[in-house]
Amino acid sequence: MTNPRKQQETLKYMPRRDREQVARDLKPIYTAINAEQAWAALEAFDEKWGARFPIITRQWTAAWEHITPFLAFPAEVRRIIYTTNAIEALNRQLRKAIKTKGSFPNEDSARKLVYLCLQNAVPQWTRCRNWTAALLALKIHFGDRIPDAS
């Protein structure tokens, strides 16, 4: 429930005329500064939309334990986590590279192609907005699991 894609799943079975406003009212939940503010935003959402769409509040409440760890990250990291544009661009590059090859003689050749494609895609990740600040926050949070840039 922490990203727009999950939000779309939440909005899947509602009238089209309400989707934009409901999505706008859900945004303060996953952009809140901390869990208390997010909970207050969820309660405000429930007051406004709970009678018409009770399932939305139930879904967010049921997934609350998965949402609160997300709120521990700084805003820069959250934006990169819930923005899927860079991930979709990377997937598009991988599909394009693999599609141009009809078949692979062995598994190693496919692995090498994916590796080279990922190496070429690395500069695009650095063009994400506030990537340096986000990378620093991830390095602090995850420590040695994030390698130093060379």
- What pLDDT, on a 0 to 100 scale, did the predictor assign at position 8? 55
What is the structure's pLDDT at 24?
Answer: 92
CA–CA distance, 148 with 146 (Å, rounded to integer)? 7
pLDDT given for residue 150 in this prediction:
47
Digit-by-digit pLDDT tens for the chain (150 residues) are 445 455 556 677 788 898 899 989 999 998 898 899 999 999 999 999 999 999 889 999 999 998 888 888 887 778 777 666 677 778 888 888 888 877 888 989 889 988 988 888 766 655 667 777 777 887 887 888 877 764
End-to-end Cα, the chain, rounded Å: 35
The 10 Å Cβ neighbour count of residue 41 is 19
Position 38 scores a pLDDT of: 93
Spatial separation of the C-alpha atoms in residues 28 and 147, rounded to whole Å: 33
Record the pTM.
0.60
